[in-house]
A and B are shown apart, each in its own frame.
Chain A
């Protein structure tokens, strides 16, 4: 009971002290004109005003602190006169007046000078309207941050309008609190740091285990250890999430690159080696749309990624249909020859683009909706460009799935995939289905190119970078299944991202290939094979 009472008493005292006490301006002026000790008092009061005074008091005090520093404050019989930016004014009332002849300007001792310097900077930080001045003030304050009231930084951070400076203020405050002499403050600061557990936080807290207080003060030691644990856990969670997220976005790209391939492979048993180049063409179509928008509708330029979607799809789908009609149609019983034929097409496309557009990387603007990100936990940042790829893949998956499952064309595609001869016998126009499906598969490659355009460098060679990975997706997923493609893309994407930080990108590729070969020992038809007759 007694303890409770004491705590209440303590709390009320604490609350009382933190509310802005009315400033006795006259007394402050008196002290300013007093002896060295009084001057020191005055400096600390000014600092108090900066930390917790009312807006009016701060506005009043700021020019006075400045004047003290510049030795432009004169004490005379009627009080004091400060020369400010607005001219010579009475320090107390602010009314214009000049100092009496007999007045003297108080000289700051070295010790008091630093007190006033801090007070001046603190007042400037809180009330200056000039961002540069505030930033300079913060730099000054940083030097003695440990001795300054916490409330100062808290209030300054709360009011600061510039996000960069606000972050800097918080950082200074945090460092100050951490190194404060008051163990309670330090512990409180530790808890605040633990709220954003990332590697930077760990770098701040880590050295504290070598702090003398760590050995001496068990409470402090406990707090530090707990904070380190919490941060480490946060980092770990963040890392796991980041890996998953990166894996997911890589998988989305793999999926986008592979889905068209899988549809075509399932239908005709043809691996289209030009698929990578169709991706490249999709990216170039996207770039052309952006250029056209810049010229004819600059307001819409930022939305080129969305506007280009039908264009990229149609351009590549047309190429695909032409390819099927002119070339592959004559080769459907010779899958290995069609492999070579599609390679010829890929060679042709790379070089025609090289001749037309040159080999340099294209410049694509990064629209606002794929820039930046939201920090989540640890060092995991939910970046919008990755999210764009993921969302784009999800939409593509949805559309492809509906097309295959719900439309008459999809039904025909499935029928031909399962049994070409039988489908032909029951009157499905097999050749037309082939052509349309090839168009679909190629169009999907075009969309992949669009999704890649803002993330990767766009040049004639770009298709080569994905093509082997996406072959592996098709091999692993099994012939012509969407589910297989999704699962295989997720698997390969995650494994790649998991291995890369450990042994590097090349090792990741080697290991993925070995895993696929090993996997084929167990299931030669891939994950989700459509069973067909062998003989």
Chain B
């Protein structure tokens, strides 16, 4: 199976502080990968590198086995098909829900979709994330959970090959979490890789094929969720008990 996203010996430094230290990670197409780890482990920073926001000091990031995106711009990476949702919901205060999804679907200053196809796509995505009723609401008026879904919807709308979700269920109710589980499950496809960063272990257990645990910018563990729960180091630095 082809590797969708390869993070190869990446190091990131902020001043003298190493947020990521020679981290390597390979995510296959068709897989849902959870990345867990204590606060400050470097999970978000890893996604920042993959999406071009933060530059790696060393190492490479390869998309789809061949495309080196280590030095590409954020927009190039996004257009190549690697997209992410941010940890802190990032929505556009001045726009309504539909406009958000349309922006996500169009993906670039140049038009890629006809207006008809665009409207079609937006409707589909709105239905998928359950915001169809709120399509004309200003996004700033949405509840927290709805903002999380709106963000996922924006990312989805371009049908990305690699989908990175940073804490999609943080701050959601149990019921909302359940809906998100269903959503993520629906999103998984053989030609798509999904990376989920989460602290909610039950959520992770329900969606993830494999789990990578990070600690202080390095991989601590990689395997199934059951094994992770059993792993002494993961328990010590993160899961507790």
Using a CB–CB distance below 8 Å, which chain A residues touch chain B? 531, 534-535
Contacts and interface: CB of A to CB of B under 8 A. Distances in A.
Given A531-B15, A535-B48, A535-B53, 6 more contacts: A531-B14, A534-B53, A535-B86, A535-B87, A535-B88, A535-B90
A531 B19 CA distance: 13
Contacts of A534: 53
9 contacts: A531-B14, A531-B15, A534-B53, A535-B48, A535-B53, A535-B86, A535-B87, A535-B88, A535-B90
A236 B202 CA distance: 78
A535 B15 CA distance: 17
Contacts of A535: 48, 53, 86-88, 90
B74 to A, nearest CB: 11
Nearest to B54: A534
Interface of B: 14-15, 48, 53, 86-88, 90
Contacts of B87: 535
A531 B48 CA distance: 16
A408 B201 CA distance: 42
A534 B74 CA distance: 14
Nearest to B45: A533
Majority DSSP secondary structure for residues of B touching A: loop
Nearest to A534: B53
B134 to A, nearest CB: 25
Nearest to A530: B15
**Shortest 6 CB-CB distances between A and B: which pairs?**
A531-B14, A531-B15, A535-B86, A535-B88, A534-B53, A535-B53
A414 to B, nearest CB: 15
Interface SS of A by simple majority:
loop
A422 to B, nearest CB: 13
A534 B53 CA distance: 9
Contacts of B90: 535
B140 to A, nearest CB: 15
Nearest to B88: A535
Nearest to B90: A535
A534 B45 CA distance: 11
A534 B88 CA distance: 12
Nearest to A529: B15
Contacts of B14: 531
A535 B14 CA distance: 14
A320 B14 CA distance: 34
Contacts of A531: 14-15
A531 B15 CA distance: 7
Contacts of B53: 534-535
A534 to B, nearest CB: 7
A345 B87 CA distance: 40
Contacts of B15: 531
A105 to B, nearest CB: 98
Nearest to A533: B14
A535 B52 CA distance: 13
A305 to B, nearest CB: 41
A534 B48 CA distance: 10
B38 to A, nearest CB: 17
Nearest to B17: A531
Nearest to B44: A535
A535 B74 CA distance: 14
A361 B163 CA distance: 67
A535 B53 CA distance: 10
A389 B79 CA distance: 56
B197 to A, nearest CB: 14
A505 B48 CA distance: 45
A534 B49 CA distance: 13
Contacts of B86: 535
B148 to A, nearest CB: 16
A531 B12 CA distance: 13
B60 to A, nearest CB: 22
A534 B55 CA distance: 13
A448 B86 CA distance: 45
A275 to B, nearest CB: 29
A310 to B, nearest CB: 38
A87 to B, nearest CB: 95
A530 to B, nearest CB: 9
A534 B90 CA distance: 13
B86 to A, nearest CB: 6
Contacts of B48: 535
Nearest to B13: A531
A534 B52 CA distance: 13
A531 B17 CA distance: 11
A89 to B, nearest CB: 94
B53 to A, nearest CB: 7
A534 B14 CA distance: 12
A420 to B, nearest CB: 16
B6 to A, nearest CB: 24
B98 to A, nearest CB: 25
B44 to A, nearest CB: 8
A534 B87 CA distance: 13
A534 B51 CA distance: 14
A535 B87 CA distance: 9
A534 B86 CA distance: 12
Nearest to B15: A531
